[in-house]
Structure 1
Amino acid sequence: MDLVNIKRQQFLTPQMYETLKAETLNTIETFKVNPTGVGDSLEERWVYSYAIVAENYLNLLLLEYTAGNSLPFIRSQLEIVIDYYEQYGSKLRSYHKNINLPVFELFTIDGYCPCIWLISLCYLLHRKDLLPRVAKLIDGEMRENVAQDWLIEEYLSFSDENRYDCSTVLVPKPYLLLCEAFSNQDNEISLAFVRKFLKNWYKDLSGAPWHDTHKSEGGYYGYWAFEAACAVILLEIENDKEFHEYLYYPKDLIEFYRTFKPSSSEIDLLTKYQKISIHAGEKCPQPGYWFTVARGNTRQYFKQGDIFPNFESDWGDVYWQFDGEE
């Protein structure tokens, strides 16, 4: 990748990108097979390991977006991130013997931001099919944790009309401003609230662990207000050009959202299997040509029941996607 010309934020240097990517992948691979040293029991140490893996897959996605990787690639990797949050959730709930335990601690910035980002990216990258899975991470298996936060309920309600009323805003700074944007019927007033939200976003989230990481030795994955871009599409704001001045406004995701059309192959796969990609090592669900973004020139024909091959990838996990029958 020609990082100098395609990166989406200027703080990321080629050396920083390569170093941080290698460190993140190493962390992922280490804690996939080893428990952490933190915890009172082996089972609890494994819970922390699964949390580290999930968080680092999200960090890796942010890094690739910041570095300028293509949006179809970012879109294809979103499901991997959610897969690992689900694995963490399963381990967490098993350990605490509570199938409704929330995976995200929404009353903290550390938990709230990843949650609202994943929800927003599901909309922006045309993966609304993943939203019920994200919602389950919040709600629990029996939906006992619903209606914790007004804004999260509002975002989820655009794809699920059976969401819940809530009057609580768990992280009022800066998210109360977005709540005001959605509460107002006047589009111009809503626009003004989104503008004020963006103006305050970085400053008001100064307590987040990623804040100002571009000034340190490592840990900078990028700063992105995905929730603001998501608000633009959900509120049907047609002209967002005044937001382009904010470094952390992901403007290209708006264009992607407005122009992307899923292929008939993808729609067919979603209809049959509720997913658009299959993990390497699993069986091919239907005959045809498949490819993986984990490596170039991989398009090949698989018969139903064939095992998708695995190999070393710059992204750790290899997933295969259907590309038609011819």
Structure 2
Amino acid sequence: MIRDKIKNKQYFEEFLKTKTQLIKFNNDSLSEGKVHESKINSAKFRNLGFLIESLIAQYSLGDNIDNLTKSIDSIIDAVTKAWCQSETKIRNDKGELFDQYMVSPYERFLHVLSVAYLLEIPDNEFQILVDILDRDNISDNLYEFIIKARFPDREQKRLEEYDTSQSVIVKVYDKLRKATETQDKVEASKLVKQFLEKDFYHKHMNLYNSHKSKANIYCGYWSFEAAAIVKIMGLDDSGFIDSQYYPKDLVHQLEEKSKKKGLLGKLGF
């Protein structure tokens, strides 16, 4: 059953068909040497974006967990080839790179990291994402919270260095970050709810207002990071379970799947 509340089934089926064609065209162009050397990184990064948008559209359409898992596997493979500093990091006026991601790449990586955690991908695949952050010398407390849920012995390489007075990332994710810092689960649930209601959908996001575009670029607005936090902290999500931005099936369908798997194991299957 379709999960998105803005577009219909036909829209998402056409969206996915178009993205599949674009990905194939780009891959063929790269493999046949038709992309200028100076544009190769951009072409690979563009394809990665198409893959991430396709995953989001799959969830919006109502695709099952197994198919989503196949998609995140493909995305992680693409990340290893396409995630480069020239496409993701902030530059100053002199062209020097800072060890921080721009808002759009930050959100994309947060999506991938969150979905990878929610879908319980193997440790070796999850480690690929961690290695990329370490390679890029990125330190972000929200990233680290999710990583430590998978790898409890993980040590953060360095402290965050955001300019808290100007950082869009810190401002947008403030309530979600605070939720991860409190021991009070009731308060944490309230903060997640406030984040979904007031902050998640913001003008700086990569897909802001994309549902209004005539170019059919909308794939869905989902806060996978909120779902990851709920799962990690074991929060009560009854107060926001029907939020249009909350991907509840990635929390509850997987819980049911794990319970059934455990029951079958006890029965000897």
Return the TM-score normalized by structure 1.
0.67
Q: Which ranges of structure 1 fall in alignment gaps of 5 or more residues?
A: 1-5, 36-40, 93-100, 265-326
Deviation at 1:242? 0.9
The answer to whether the aligner puts 1:86 opposite 2:77 as a matched pair is: no
The answer to whether the aligner puts 1:34 opposite 2:29 as a matched pair is: yes
The answer to whether the aligner puts 1:157 opposite 2:148 as a matched pair is: yes
Deviation at 1:162? 2.2
Contact kept in structure 1, 2:2 and 2:9, CA below 8 Å: no
User: Which residue identity lines up with residue 200 of structure 1 in the other structure?
Assistant: K
Give the distance between the partners of 1:231 and 1:134, measured in 2 at CA.
18
The answer to whether the aligner puts 1:46 opposite 2:43 as a matched pair is: no
The answer to whether the aligner puts 1:120 opposite 2:117 as a matched pair is: no
Residues 128 and 206 of structure 1, relative CA distance in 2, 3 Å threshold? farther
Partner of 2:257: 260
Deviation at 1:247? 0.3
Partner of 1:306: none
User: Which residue identity lines up with residue 87 of structure 1 in the other structure?
Assistant: K
SS in 2 for 1:241: coil
Partner of 1:215: 212
Residues 14 and 182 of structure 1, relative CA distance in 2, 3 Å threshold? closer
Partner of 1:248: 245
User: Which residue identity lines up with residue 9 of structure 2 in the other structure?
Assistant: P
Residues 259 and 166 of structure 1, relative CA distance in 2, 3 Å threshold? farther
Residues 122 and 241 of structure 1, relative CA distance in 2, 3 Å threshold? same
User: Which residue identity lines up with residue 44 of structure 2 in the other structure?
Assistant: Y
SS in 1 for 2:220: coil
- Structure 1 residues 28-57: Cα deviation after superposition (integer angstroms, max 9, x where no partner): 11111225xxxxx92221111111111111
Return the structure number with greater helix share.
Answer: 2
Q: Which ranges of structure 2 fall in alignment gaps of 5 or more residues?
A: 90-99, 263-269
Q: Which has the higher contact order (CA 8 A, sep 6+)?
A: 2
Sequence identity (%): 21
Matches within 5 A, 1:1-40: 6-34=1-29
SS in 2 for 1:34: helix
Give the distance between the partners of 1:51 and 1:128, measured in 2 at CA.
24
The answer to whether the aligner puts 1:166 opposite 2:163 as a matched pair is: no
Match of 2:64 among 53, 60, 70: 70
Give the distance between the partners of 1:200 and 1:168, measured in 2 at CA.
25
**Which of the two has higher C-alpha Rg?**
1
Give the distance between the partners of 1:113 and 1:76, measured in 2 at CA.
21
Match of 2:131 among 119, 126, 136: 136
Give the distance between the partners of 1:15 and 1:188, measured in 2 at CA.
40
Give the distance between the partners of 1:21 and 1:263, measured in 2 at CA.
31
Tell me the C-alpha RMSD between the 2 structures: 2.3
How many equivalent pairs are there?
238
User: Which residue identity lines up with residue 40 of structure 2 in the other structure?
Assistant: W
SS in 1 for 2:81: helix
Give the distance between the partners of 2:254 and 2:79, measured in 1 at CA.
24
Contact kept in structure 1, 2:44 and 2:82, CA below 8 Å: yes
Deviation at 1:76? 2.1
Give the distance between the partners of 1:178 and 1:45, measured in 2 at CA.
36
4+ long deviations beyond 6 Å: none
Deviation at 1:168? 4.0
Contact kept in structure 1, 2:224 and 2:247, CA below 8 Å: yes
